[in-house]
Amino acid sequence: MNFINSLSFARQLDRTDPLKKFRNEFLLPKVNKKPAIYFTGNSLGLQPKSTKKFINEELQDWAKLGVEGHVHSRRPWLYYHKFTKKALAQLVGAKPLEVVAMNQLTVNLHLMMVSFYRPTKERFKIITEAGAFSSDQYAFESQLKWHGQNPDEALIELKPRTGEHTLRTEDIVHAIETHAAQLALVIFGGVQYYTGQFFNIKKITEAAHKAGAYAGFDLAHAVGNVPLNLHRDGADFAVWCSYKYLNSGPGGIAGAFVHERHAKHVDLPRFSGWWGHNEKERFQMKKGFVPMPGVDGWQLSNFPILSGAAHLASLEIFQQAGIKNLRRKSIALTGYLEFLLKEIDPHETSFTILTPERVDERGCQLSIFMNTNGKKVFNTLTKAGVIADWREPNVIRVAPVPLYNTFEEVFRFAEIFKKAIHR
Ligand SMILES: *Cc1c(COP(=O)(O)O)cnc(C)c1O
């Protein structure tokens, strides 16, 4: 698309945006009594107006029915995880049997590693990206130590080449080949939280499998942001949270994917609970765990209904909008932001965009590395009504989200940003 640096052009794009009605389905935070420019949907997505209704319905059913709500409420609580399956399957490109909403992200990461990281004397290494989200780093480190491994030896963290900000797929594949004989697990972000790089899930998975290792992905910043094809790409497992692009509320219920090829693999070691047990005899309270087929067999506890209600409210919007349509708008929205930023500083003297230029290597987010005065610029943005995200040492992350952000907001952000760096 050929962009123009003008308010009227931005407004024109908004007028012809086929998804424009969705903004009105969200509650927009205000700063100084005016709607904020909310560019942190990558951190906490906004609240759909319908969330209250979904949660209220559960509160009403609980009040009216008590325990009977498990079977007789409008969305019977016993089967609640099933109501999210269709939408989640579409979002991550999976079969319903392969996805489930459960727990929290880091919990799911541990559960998946229990099954898919079982080091042997020969195969014990994990390959991941350097600078992964802290919780993932702690999960990897603690899993390694739990198995008596030395993280300094067994955890291979890949860094970009000198002078580059993001990893090249060929370098990831090369590292996998190099460590192949000792490799147990390859685990990457879907979209890297700090740089915004969208990793090539297909190529990473293929390389991992060729090496004889499992491939897993943390989709915290990918789900609801970029279209995914976990089934086709062959990933063994994936985990995600629902409070970022999925707008399901702070601390909302997370999700997990296990590929169909492991669906009937009942002997795969795992940590189990009653909700993962064969649902036909779940209430017989018998000895002997028999997992449900598919990822449902990894569930531990009964479903958190209030958090699940918020999840359903949001997933309904995603089904109406369609992830492919959202992606189309997102490419334009983030592309416009990049275009305007480059107009401000064509030679990257004040700042550098860390996020890849290639559209298929990024989602909504651009990570702007400030060469000087980063914190000052960030504070000026905040005062002017922009809600963005600051990451040490010097990065401002901005994520225009296609469900509720507009081209006009991108334009206004760029104007505010330009003034802030020239102050
Ligand atoms: C947001 C995020 C988390 C957060 O973990 P929780 O268990 O949801 O608190 C973990 N990993 C990544 C990559 C994230 O982006």
Task: Say yes or no: CB of residue 241 within 6 Å of ligand 1.
Answer: yes
Task: Say yes or no: CB of residue 220 within 6 Å of ligand 1.
Answer: yes
d(CA 258, CA 96): 10
Which residue is listed with tokens 């499992």? 214
Task: Say yes or no: CB of residue 135 within 6 Å of ligand 1.
Answer: yes
Alpha carbon of 87 to ligand 1 centroid (Å) = 21
What are the pLDDT tens digits along the chain (423 aa)? Answer: 799 999 999 999 999 999 999 999 999 999 989 999 999 999 999 999 999 999 999 999 999 999 999 999 999 999 999 999 999 999 999 999 999 999 999 999 999 999 999 999 999 999 999 999 999 999 999 999 999 999 999 999 999 999 999 999 999 999 999 999 999 999 999 999 999 999 999 999 999 999 999 999 999 999 999 999 999 999 999 999 999 999 999 999 999 999 999 998 988 999 999 999 999 888 888 899 999 999 999 999 999 999 999 999 999 999 999 999 999 999 999 999 999 999 999 999 999 999 999 999 999 999 999 998 899 999 999 999 999 999 989 999 999 999 999 999 999 999 999 999 987
Class of 7-47+322-421 per CATH?
A: alpha beta
Task: Say yes or no: CB of residue 326 within 6 Å of ligand 1.
Answer: no
The ranges assigned to domains in the chain are 7-47+322-421, 55-319
Mutate to test the pocket of ligand 1, among 44, 102, 241, 365 (most ligand atoms within 8 A of CB): 241
Q: What is the pTM of this model?
A: 0.97
Contact predicate 183/125, CB 8 Å? yes
d(CA 200, CA 169): 7
d(CA 211, CA 206): 9
* CATH fold of the domain at 55-319: Aspartate Aminotransferase; domain 2 (3.40.640)
Which protein residue has the closest C-alpha to ligand 1 atom 14? 220
Q: Which atom of ligand 1 is nearest to the CA of 107?
A: 7
Mutual angle of helices 323-344 and 305-321, in 10-degree steps: 80
End-to-end CA distance of the chain, in Å?
31
Task: Say yes or no: CB of residue 133 within 6 Å of ligand 1.
Answer: yes
Task: Say yes or no: CB of residue 42 within 6 Å of ligand 1.
Answer: no
| DSSP code string of 278-291 | -GGGGGG--SS--B
